[in-house]
Structure formats: C-alpha cells, structure tokens
Chain A
Amino acid sequence: MDVRTALAAVLGIGLGLLCLLSPGTVLTVQTAGRLPQDRSGEYGTEGDGSGTFRRLVQVVGGVLVAGGLYFAWQALAV
C-alpha cells in the first residue's frame, strides 16, 4: 500500500467531513484576518458566513470525501 495515497485518502475524507458537518469552521479559518469576523452577524458575535458560502464549503467537502474514497480504493487495490 502506498503511504502517500493512503494519507491522501484518510486526510481527504477527514477534511471533507469537516467541511460537510461544520462549514462555519472552515469559513472562519479562511476569512479570519481577511475580513473582519464581526462584519456579519450581530454585535459581539462572529458571523457564520452566508448560506451560499456555507453550501459552497459543503460542496467542496463532498468533493474531498469523494476524492478520499477514490484514493482509499486505489490504496487498497494496489
């Protein structure tokens, strides 16, 4: 089994699940410091990102999980 392919599978699925289950976390990581985190949402809170961006992150998550599963299949097939 190729270690790098296995690593791509495990990390890809892990990151993909994070994007699917907690898109707000991924958005925070990507936007903090680039845009004021208190720009959206009520005063005293951080914004959670718009519905569109959250869905976009979830789509990316789906792609990552699919990619991870493909590399898992490849790693196990070799």
Chain B
Amino acid sequence: MAVVGSLLFGFYAVAAVVLLAMFGEGVLPLVLVGSVLFVGVQYKIGKWAALRSVGAEDLSEDRYPQIHQQVKHLSTDMGIDKPRLMIARMGVPNAFAVGRKGAGTVVVSEELLRLLDADEVEGVLAHELAHIRNRDVVMMVLGQGIASIVAIVAQWAVLLTGDNDLADFFLAIVVGQIVQMIVMVFVLAISRYREYVADSDAAAEVGGEPLASALEKISYGSQRADDSAIDEQVGALCIFGEERGLLAKLFASHPPVEKRIERLRN
C-alpha cells in the first residue's frame, strides 16, 4: 500500500509541477492552499450529504441502550471517542461510518438491527469504529481530492496547449474524466485494502466470527424481499454469486464478501 500511496502522491506532484510550469513558481502557495481547501470542502459536504441522503436520525439511547453500551466499550478499547450514533431506514441491512477520529458518526439501518443478533451487530460496529480509528474516510476524501485535482490540471493542460476550438473543449473534458479514472484505480485499491484492515481490527476486538456471521447472514439473505422501502437502487445490488468482471474488480471499493468471510474465519 505504501507503493500505491506513493503513486498517488506522485500523481499530485506531477499535477503541481505542470501547474508551476504553466503559471510560474508564484502559484505554488495558491496550489497548496487550494488543494487543502478543495479536500476540506469535499470532506464537509460529503459527510453532510451522506447523512442527509439516508435520512439518518440520532439513535435513541433509551430505545437502544445495548448498542450505545457496545459502542462505548468498543470505543474505549480502541482508544477513540465514542462516535455519534445514528439510525436510518435504508431498505436493506447496512451500516457505514463518516467523519474522522474524534468527530465520527456511525449510521446503522433499522433493517440491520432487525436481522442481526447482538454479537453480530457488535462485529459490524467494531468494523465501522475501526474505519474511524484508521481515518479511512479521510483517506478516501484525500484520494478523491488528488484524483480530482490531477483531472482538473489535465483538463487545463489540454485547453492551454490547443486552439480552444470545440474539439479542444471536448477533448479536455474527456481527458479529465479518463485521468480521474486512472488515479481512482489506485485509490480504490487502497479502499479494498482498508476494508481488510478494518475487518482484522474488528476481529482483534470481538473475534472474527461475529462479523463473518453478519456478512454471511446478510449476503445469503439478500434474495429475500424486505417489506420496507426497497427502491430501484437496491435491485441493482445483488452481486452475490455473480461473476465479477475485470472492470468491476478494478473499480470495486470493497473486496468480495466471500473473501472477507474466509479471512475472518481463518
């Protein structure tokens, strides 16, 4: 992963050098401040949008005291502040973490709490807390930030070296998107690796079996219709048992569930 991380930094460095070559050395402070601002705004908007998009509400401590207790104990064991806990109706069993160490939020779906038993929920919570402790959300925001900055620089490089005709504008847009995709291949490789690390950290806290069992239960129960608000989006998500093509593997943010279960049990 150090190699992939270095490659990402390399992409950013090349973009910065290209900008310096285009606009002169005086632009360096602007590049650095602009990069930090760009990533910071993406982080803030992303956190707000993620919570808003699922309609997350605070998880009542009166109604779910056990979950609050589990998270409190896990947070203490993992050396982080207890994150804000939220609940949402997502139509499927799910949980995710946003934010960073010290200002994290874990969202669980009502469907997940209905489907899993207490041990399995604890395994899921440990995995999400590991993401917060390991700053995985911040890492992904940084990765996307680098990809976007490199793409913007590529677009400007195309524009400034051409005649500014219609073909140049079209080429700039297309090149920007392609460059972003290439950088994101590396970012998503890191994301898949971080999932394994979070699994391993969760296993170290509560053992591998609860999370493996949760993943297994959700994956094998995925064909069962849920009576809650299942939207179209959900229909496209049944990847279990399907052959994953090279493109899907290359651009997957998560490793295959089967492999995760296998690793957790080994």
Residues of A near any B CB (own CB < 8 A): 2, 4-5, 7-8, 11-12, 15, 22, 24-25, 28-29, 32-51, 54, 64, 67, 71, 74
Which of A29, A38, A47, A49 is in CB contact (< 8 Å) with B180?
Answer: A29
- State in angstroms the CA–CA spacing of A2 and B132 once bound together: 51
Contacts of B147 in A (CB 8 A): 29, 33
> Are A40 and B233 interface neighbours, CB within 8 A?
yes
In this complex, how many residues of chain B approach chain A with their Cβ under 8 Å: the count is 61
19 additional contacts, CB 8 Å, given A34-B141, A71-B167? A2-B167, A4-B162, A4-B167, A12-B171, A24-B248, A29-B181, A32-B188, A33-B46, A33-B187, A37-B191, A42-B222, A43-B94, A46-B254, A47-B237, A48-B233, A49-B236, A50-B231, A51-B231, A67-B170
Given A15-B178, A36-B137, A40-B233: A71 and B170 interface contact (C-beta under 8 Å): yes
For chains A and B in complex, what number of residue pairs have CB atoms within 8 angstroms? 147
> Are B167 and A5 interface neighbours, CB within 8 A?
yes
Q: Which of B15-23, B62-70, B95-103 contacts A (4 or more CB under 8 A)?
A: B95-103
Contacts of A45 in B (CB 8 A): 237, 239, 254, 257
> Are A39 and B188 interface neighbours, CB within 8 A?
no
> Are B144 and A33 interface neighbours, CB within 8 A?
yes
Is B208 part of the binding interface, using a Cβ–Cβ cutoff of 8 Å?
no
> Are A32 and B184 interface neighbours, CB within 8 A?
yes
> Are B247 and A42 interface neighbours, CB within 8 A?
no
- State in angstroms the CA–CA spacing of A2 and B232 once bound together: 44
- State in angstroms the CA–CA spacing of A47 and B96 once bound together: 12
Interface majority SS on B: helix, strand, loop or mixed?
helix
Which partner residue on chain A sits nearest B245 by CB separation? A22
Contacts of A32 in B (CB 8 A): 140, 143-144, 184, 187-188, 191, 253
B114 to chain A, nearest CB (A): 13
Residues of B near any A CB (own CB < 8 A): 42, 45-46, 49-50, 53-54, 90, 92-98, 112, 124, 137, 140-145, 147, 162, 167-168, 170-171, 174-175, 177-178, 180-181, 184, 187-188, 191, 214-215, 218-219, 222, 231-237, 239, 247-248, 251-254, 257, 260
- State in angstroms the CA–CA spacing of A50 and B233 once bound together: 4
- State in angstroms the CA–CA spacing of A74 and B170 once bound together: 13
Contacts of A43 in B (CB 8 A): 92-95, 112, 124, 214-215, 218
A40 to chain B, nearest CB (A): 6
- State in angstroms the CA–CA spacing of A7 and B231 once bound together: 40
> Are B145 and A33 interface neighbours, CB within 8 A?
yes
- State in angstroms the CA–CA spacing of A66 and B257 once bound together: 38
> Are B178 and A7 interface neighbours, CB within 8 A?
no
Which of A12, A46, A64 is in CB contact (< 8 Å) with B253?
Answer: A46
